[in-house]
Amino acid sequence: MNDLSVNGLSGLSYLPGYFSRAAQETLLEQIRAVVARAPFYRPAMPRTGKAFTVRMSNCGPLGWVSDVSGYRYQPHHPDSGNPWPAMPALLTNLWKDLAPEAPDPEACLINYYENTARMGLHQDRDEQTFEAPVISVSLGDTATFRVGGLSRKDPTKSFRLQSGDVVVLGGEARLAFHGIDRVLAGTSTLLKNGGRINLTLRRVTQPM
DNA sequence: CAGTCGCA
DNA sequence: TGAC
């Protein structure tokens, strides 16, 4: 595991190759089962209604959603109203491994990037607590990931994330600005139709 | 009225 | 839109 140095923030870790190819295949199968019950939808920006290029789903008790009225966590799919499927054990195990002190994860956002999809610089700040880290898993095509500081204007650095890599935004880096510049088409054989899936695990509510 | 997980 |  490496600590990435960006703007002097501690708590930003990069774990290349955390998941073996066999584990990636198992995880992908479990994610496919989730998405069969909670299909990808395309979120919209608050106020403007501008569509994201990324499509999203969730698993776990809460899911992150965005529409014209804002960002929020909610326990049901925005289209079907069904509760989000349970989080696969591989993901709760990952959380226990990398954040053993943190309360259980409540949300796993599933982002599907087709080749032209991007995600602008942003902070993950819709949670009620920032004590637990955000843990992110990359599957499929390699992407260029950009990380900055606690202010949007801070300088940024970019890194390539490959299938099976894990990134942890914790401690001082929990609220670091980050985003995906682009997906490098044809860099992985994991997803038959190409593209990239990113899984983001989060604690949302303050534990009792 | 600042600021935008967007866009120019 | 939400915070002021």
Q: Which strands form A196-202's sheet, in the order they lie side by side?
A: A2-3, A12-15, A166-169, A134-140, A196-202, A107-113, A55-59
Q: Among all strands, which nt has the closest C1' to A180 (CA)? A: B5
Residue A4: pLDDT band (50, 70, 90) is confident
Task: Decide if pLDDT at A66 tops 80.
Answer: yes
| Pairwise CA distance, residues A53 & A114, whole Å | 8
Q: Tokens 């290349």 appear where? A: A16
Known binding residue A152? Answer is yes
Q: Among all strands, which nt has the closest C1' to A72 (CA)? A: B5
**Class of residue A153 by CB neighbours under 10 A (exposed 0-12, middle 13-18, buried 19+):** exposed
The confidence score (pLDDT) of residue A55 equals: 96
Q: Per residue in A95-130, pLDDT tens?
A: 999 999 999 999 999 999 999 999 999 999 999 999
Our measurement of CA A142 to C1' C2, in angstroms, reads: 37
Task: Kindly determine whether the C-beta of residue A186 is less than 7 Å away from any atom of nucleic acid strand C.
Answer: no
Average pLDDT, chain A: 94
pLDDT (average), residues A164-169: 97
State whether CATH 2.60.120.590 applies to domain A2-202: yes
The confidence score (pLDDT) of residue A195 equals: 97
Give residues 68-97 of chain A lying near strand C (Cβ < 7 A).
Answer: 68-70
Domain ranges, ordered by start, for chain A = 2-202
The confidence score (pLDDT) of residue A178 equals: 95
H/E element, A29: helix A21-37
Known binding residue A18? Answer is no
CA distances from A81 to A18, A47, A64, A74, A173 (A): 34, 22, 14, 10, 34
CA distances from A102 to A120, A131, A139, A167 (A): 28, 8, 24, 16
* Residue in A40, A192, A34, A200 with CA at minimum distance from that of residue A123: A200
Task: Decide if pLDDT at A207 tops 90.
Answer: no
Q: Per residue in A34-63, pLDDT tens?
A: 999 999 999 999 888 889 999 999 999 999
Known binding residue A178? Answer is yes
